């Protein structure tokens, strides 16, 4: 075997020292990068928790608004149904009033004929319509009580 010269040993030692120094530098860089990654990971985890919290709060707010909207919608639907029922009732009353209005000339004629049949001379006579006298409107029972017809019977039961 050959023996190594002192120059070769010194060069090898210098090379090993440089290599050791370079390994130490790389380990320091790796440590710094690891610490940096750990800090970034912690920051990202905090950001993610903040985003999750904001998302959860937003979802809760949206659910609250949805529940309020559903309650309001139910209230409005009930109101619409009530108004539809009222409109149907008013339509029915309107149809009845229209029928009454169409029947009024016949009723006036009937009342006039009944008055003539009973021989009432105290009814005010207005213009003749279809050969029959017109009779004033007797729309409410209070009008009949105050009129001159209080004691008069028409000979019919109604």
Average pLDDT, integer, range 63-75: 98
Q: Is the confidence at residue 132, as pLDDT, over 70? A: no
DSSP label at residue 1: -
Contact of 136 with 126, CB cutoff 8 Å: yes
- The per-residue pLDDT for 145 is 43
Output the pLDDT for position 40: 97
Pairing of β 132-133 and β 128-129: antiparallel
For the segment 9-60, what is each residue's pLDDT rounded down to a tens digit? 999 999 999 999 999 999 999 999 999 999 999 999 999 999 999 999 999 9
Phi, then psi, of 126 in degrees rounded to 5: -110, -160
Q: Is the pLDDT of residue 155 over 80?
A: no
pLDDT, residue 94, reads 97
DSSP structure string for 87-156: HHHHHHHHHHHHHHHHHHHHHHHHHHHHHHHHT---SPP--EETTEE------SHHHHHHSTTTT---S-
Query: What is the band of 3 on the pLDDT scale with cuts at 50, 70, 90?
Result: confident
pTM of the predicted protein model = 0.45
At residue 120 the predicted structure's pLDDT band, cuts being 50, 70 and 90, is low
pLDDT band at 119 (very low <50, low <70, confident <90, very high): confident
């Amino acid at each position: 075997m050959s023996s190594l010269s002192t120059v070769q040993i010194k060069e090898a030692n210098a090379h090993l020292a440089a290599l050791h120094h370079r390994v130490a530098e790389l380990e320091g860089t790796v440590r710094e990068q690891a610490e940096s990654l750990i800090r970034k990971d912690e920051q990202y985890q905090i950001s993610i928790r903040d985003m999750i919290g904001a998302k959860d709060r937003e979802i809760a707010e949206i659910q609250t608004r949805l529940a309020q909207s559903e309650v309001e919608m139910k209230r409005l639907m009930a109101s619409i149904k009530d108004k539809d029922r009222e409109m149907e009732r008013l339509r029915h009353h309107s149809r009845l009033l229209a029928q009454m209005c169409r029947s009024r000339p016949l009723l006036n004629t009937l009342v006039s004929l009944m008055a003539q049949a009973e021989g009432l001379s105290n009814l005010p006579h207005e213009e003749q319509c279809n050969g029959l006298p017109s009779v004033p409107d007797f729309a409410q029972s209070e009008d009949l009580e105050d009129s001159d017809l209080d004691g008069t019977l028409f000979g019919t039961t109604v």
